[in-house]
């Protein structure tokens, strides 16, 4: 049995029950965390008007978890975010590695990476000393931007194409736990080249280092479907790789990971797992383990 199979098996046995139907079912609900008053970081002005996100629309769009499972969902994302934040703390003296920039990716579409990106960002935003920027970097299919009503806003592609646009002018501060968002912007024929450009590296560096208490969460395209994700992965500090339980093949996992920079922390989120006797889905990122260079030989 491979290292990944052992790890996923262990997760399925030990993870909490987190009842989230299949992301294609259309049943979605909010996390209770979003209504909890929190002390905000001083790095962001408190008097800036917040963009209102329609929770009903986010629920229908599959970006938030089922209401009857809100507490287990929020508890699981608390578990998932902790190792990621520990990586940030361990590397805070080296700002150039951008460890505070987390790319959420998957091998193929449908694994639930966008759901995980949104809920991970919302959970991290509850940390009293941190603020969060959520970037919709899936420019070909900007699910976050569409669901949040930001698809017509100037966003990432315009920012990369036109260096005269100030970064702060394209950021949108929302009422989702005070999370800021960078919309995808318009579709672009050279999106791969834009994401791999020196301009992108400069934008990431600026966003990652402007505020010492900022955590950046990026929703990326699927790794095995587009070349944009590979380009984007080179710009971030760590990667959260979403595996759909029972759907993502072992070979797809290996192929996707093989194309990543193995010197960076690569963490796997097990999504849509069945943990109950009823056979209901428990998804949204309910499982976590780390992957590193030394385990490569054990994966085959």
CB 162 within 8 A of CB 41: no
Mean pLDDT by 10 residues, the chain (300 residues): 51 38 36 37 61 85 76 88 94 80 95 94 95 95 94 94 93 95 92 88 93 95 88 92 90 91 90 56 36 33
- Residue numbers of the domain that contains 203: 3-299
Whole-angstrom Cα distance, residue 155 to residue 149? 13
CATH number for the domain spanning 289: value is 3.40.50.300
Q: Burial level of 263, CB count in 10 A (0-12/13-18/19+)?
A: exposed
Confidence at residue 29, expressed as pLDDT on a 0 to 100 scale: 34
Number of domains making up the chain:
1
């Amino acid at each position: 049995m491979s290292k990944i199979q052992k790890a996923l098996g262990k997760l399925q046995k030990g993870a909490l029950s987190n009842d989230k139907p299949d992301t294609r079912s259309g049943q979605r609900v909010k996390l209770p965390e979003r209504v909890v008053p929190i002390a905000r970081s001083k790095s962001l002005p408190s008097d800036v008007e917040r963009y209102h996100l329609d929770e009903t629309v986010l629920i229908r769009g599959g970006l938030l978890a089922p209401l009857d499972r809100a507490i287990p969902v929020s508890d699981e994302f608390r578990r998932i975010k902790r190792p990621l934040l520990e990586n940030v703390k361990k590397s805070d003296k080296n700002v150039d590695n951008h460890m505070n920039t987390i790319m959420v990716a998957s091998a193929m579409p449908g694994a639930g990476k966008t759901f995980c990106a949104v809920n991970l960002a919302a959970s991290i935003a509850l940390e009293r000393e941190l603020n969060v920027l959520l970037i919709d970097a899936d420019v070909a299919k900007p699910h976050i931007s569409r669901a949040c009503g930001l698809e017509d806003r100037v966003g990432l592609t315009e920012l990369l194409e036109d260096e005269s646009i100030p970064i702060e002018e394209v950021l949108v501060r929302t009422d989702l736990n005070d999370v800021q968002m960078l919309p995808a912007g318009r579709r672009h024929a050279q999106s791969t080249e834009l994401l791999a450009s020196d301009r992108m590296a400069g934008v990431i560096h600026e966003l990652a280092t402007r505020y010492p208490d900022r955590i950046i969460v990026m929703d990326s395209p699927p790794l095995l479907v587009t070349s944009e994700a590979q380009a984007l992965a080179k710009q971030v500090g760590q990667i959260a790789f979403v595996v759909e339980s029972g759907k993502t093949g072992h070979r797809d996992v290996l192929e996707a990971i093989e194309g990543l920079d193995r010197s960076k922390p690569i963490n796997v989120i097990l999504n849509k797992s069945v943990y109950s006797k009823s056979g209901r889905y428990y998804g949204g990122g309910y499982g976590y383990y780390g992957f590193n260079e030394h385990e490569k030989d054990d994966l085959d």
